[in-house]
Structure 1
């Protein structure tokens, strides 16, 4: 049987490439006669660059950038020649990821996207005519102010000290924003994310995402106010905002779906003229998933947790939907499964298997994620692959 292994990262434990290898190890043990094809996937978050390099090749340009707290960390930009022009792929999580911080360092009031701006500068230095920025897994809540500062929009002392510092930003803090827009006018910017959160409001990034990054309820409200002040300054500095094609009125970018992605990085990139595409859909497209799925007898995907949030805009939901269109069965393996059979069937999954159902199994998964995942997948393989 021909099996396509197409997983996401396995929580914070294993990246997409490592997860695919663990799945292949387990499937090879349970059904050694099957032919396996590995296709690690990403939604734009951690692992985005590894997945695309494996699929597209290209040149990996190593660099050093600032992490969310200003410490130097290694990072990279993937440069690919596509359709006669140079495209650079950037993974924002390499500079702003939550995984870069220990539990006691997580504070979205202090973390900055300055390093993501450095990554964007590295892409431009390679002569990129198109830059695709994967957003996901971020630790920041600064509306991309740090990124704008790194590009020259204003002083880092005002813009690159985290979201809370923006409440004190002076009216001239973004005096260079117009020059940044002019410099990027000839570059196509693309945001790859399935996060549709707006920047401000009750469902905005401060209310919806900041608590998961370490913010208290009170701090989330303070961040909302600080980001609102920041957008007011931008509205004054850049009065000629993009127009709504339907009404002809200026667009409120802070209300746009995706503006709140990665703590508001989406907002800064939209301001610079970026357009948004689904992160999962973009990865499925560039990796040729549909063709590979159609040429397989079974597709196996995986994720750390299969919950209500996974039912849309995730690698698992994207893989299940695309596989369903090919008429092939798709099964999922997850560290935890927190939804019922009805929900997984509505995704198009023919089977769904949890690695850890009990506390003892959770302990084993934490202690040995590769071995525990491989062992579970070996049992799944015996279920789905005809024995010889």
Structure 2
């Protein structure tokens, strides 16, 4: 019996890798000789690097970079030498958790640290990059990232612009002659579920800026500065990316990746599934197990269990989803090929206890399901 184990992390309870291990223990308690294929999953956000490192046999490496305020920080990313593949979550270098709420100011926060992280990956021999967009505290459209990779941004007087989105309003010249030539050889898969454009009422500044500390007065300043940046990008590259879906992701980092790299953008879970070769591993499977902390009506909007179920349906394999909580509207998932939705919490308890007991509860839930399946057989 071949079982594919493809869960996301259960937030604050267990990583995707730990969830795979718990599922496998539950399966083997009933079917000791089952062929279990573990594929830790993610949807492009937190946990993407860890999931893909586990799935590809890569390694976690670290680089000394600068955080959004220019302070030293050690950032980790994944590297798979055999595939010349680097796996980066932008939050590792420019994440909102790196800056205290009182210090968040998207007018001066810079994405330079992400550029330093990309450069470190290039130094290690990366020729492919999977980048998870999400959780950034910057709103500079990737300008800082490009400066760190060798681009020059100058004002009308010829002076290099300081970090942050605010100074982009003074941008007169974008010079790419000093850009690291390896950037043009790097192919990038962008994992993002955000479809917002760079500018306007649905753009990066208006929609996401307030979450990053932008005041109502700062939002139009940010949007105007990004408008100047977008125009400079179009002149320098011939690529007008401002209106592209996803250009506004991660404070406009989506626009920079689309403009300066040979890149494609896709739903986060699809990028992760492709990199982890999930569908190849489903060949010949009898059952797929997936799950995450909460499964509800929103799961159909590109969450990991939904993406896994879509892949499994293409192979005619039934899917069972496990979750810490089965939320409102989750029953809609039965219309999309799920065979069962199984809650893992075994008794009334408080949240800290439920989170701490997550791995044991998941193992027990999987074991129970397989006892029922064995009874039916």
CA distance in 2, matches of 1:25, 1:108: 46
Mean Cα deviation higher: 56-65 or 344-353:
56-65
C-alpha deviation, 1:234, in angstroms: 4.4
CA gap 1:198/1:178 in 2 versus in 1, 3 angstroms = farther
Residue number in structure 2 paired with 1:89: 87
C-alpha deviation, 1:276, in angstroms: 1.9
Residue number in structure 1 paired with 2:270: 281
CA distance in 2, matches of 1:221, 1:23: 50
1:297 and 2:297 correspond: no
CA distance in 2, matches of 1:219, 1:308: 32
Which of 226, 230, 237 is the matching residue for 2:226? 230
CA gap 1:114/1:236 in 2 versus in 1, 3 angstroms = closer
The answer to whether the 8 A contact 1:5-1:24 is kept is: yes
The 5 A counterparts of 1:325-344 are 325-344=314-333
Q: Deviations over 1:230-263 (max 9, x none)?
A: 33144146515435xxxxxxx3x12211112223
CA distance in 2, matches of 1:170, 1:42: 37
The 5 A counterparts of 1:66-81 are 66-69=66-69, 70-81=71-82
After TM superposition, the score normalised by the length of structure 1 is: 0.80
The answer to whether the 8 A contact 1:355-1:361 is kept is: no
Residue number in structure 1 paired with 2:253: 265
CA distance in 1, matches of 2:232, 2:140: 19
Mean Cα deviation higher: 270-279 or 105-114:
105-114
Which of 296, 308, 312 is the matching residue for 1:323? 312
Residue number in structure 2 paired with 1:248: none
Residue number in structure 2 paired with 1:143: 141
Which of 331, 338, 347 is the matching residue for 1:349? 338
1:134 and 2:132 correspond: yes
SS in 1 for 2:4: strand
After TM superposition, the score normalised by the length of structure 2 is: 0.82
Residue number in structure 1 paired with 2:53: 53
CA gap 1:112/1:9 in 2 versus in 1, 3 angstroms = farther
When the two chains are superposed, the root-mean-square deviation of aligned CA atoms in Å is: 3.5
In the alignment, structure 2 segments of 5+ residues that lack a partner are 155-159
C-alpha deviation, 1:209, in angstroms: 3.8
Residue number in structure 1 paired with 2:25: 25
CA gap 1:44/1:263 in 2 versus in 1, 3 angstroms = same
C-alpha deviation, 1:108, in angstroms: 6.2
Aligned length: 369
CA distance in 2, matches of 1:353, 1:209: 34
Residue number in structure 2 paired with 1:247: none
SS in 2 for 1:303: strand
Residue number in structure 1 paired with 2:157: none
Q: Deviations over 1:75-98 (max 9, x none)?
A: 13414344xxx4433332322344
CA gap 1:273/1:319 in 2 versus in 1, 3 angstroms = same
The answer to whether the 8 A contact 1:114-1:150 is kept is: yes
SS in 2 for 1:180: coil
The answer to whether the 8 A contact 1:57-1:80 is kept is: no
Q: Deviations over 1:264-313 (max 9, x none)?
A: 21112112134224232232223222232232211111112224443132
1:366 and 2:355 correspond: yes
CA gap 1:113/1:291 in 2 versus in 1, 3 angstroms = same
Residue number in structure 2 paired with 1:194: 193
Q: Deviations over 1:36-92 (max 9, x none)?
A: 22110122333333333333335654322234453412413414344xxx4433332
